[in-house]
Amino acid sequence: MTDDHTQRALAILAAIGTGAVPLDPFTANAHWWWNGGLDLPVAEFAALLADLHGRTEDGIAITPGLTMADGDSVMIEATSAARLTNGRVYANRYIFLFHFTGDAIREVREYSDSAHVNATFDLAGPMGGG
């Protein structure tokens, strides 16, 4: 099961680059938590990501690094790269924790440099929320 979980988690990170996170790999009540001050239902996170994607030239490429799986959880270290339409460069480091119920993702916990996200994308508060 852990190999399947790892592949599902990696597929979500690859989808971030397209700006469209598919909702079908998630449980109905799944949420995306970010250390910058967000805890959103996955559909709301997907909408926010689409907005951020629209500010980039070619999306936000996520490159996975170390991956570890244990039981119903997968941890992935990753880096990102994106050029924004305003000329800025977004490059961050992450730890993503994916928690599963059966084959479905119930929660993603994303740890990154929130100050870099807010400054690069000109966001007023947590992901533009205030």
Q: Domain residues of the chain, as ranges?
A: 2-114
pLDDT tens-place string over residues 69-127: 999 999 999 999 999 999 999 999 999 999 999 999 999 999 999 889 888 888 765 55
Closest alpha carbon to 92 in 110, 74, 107: 110
Q: Which CATH class is domain 2-114?
A: alpha beta
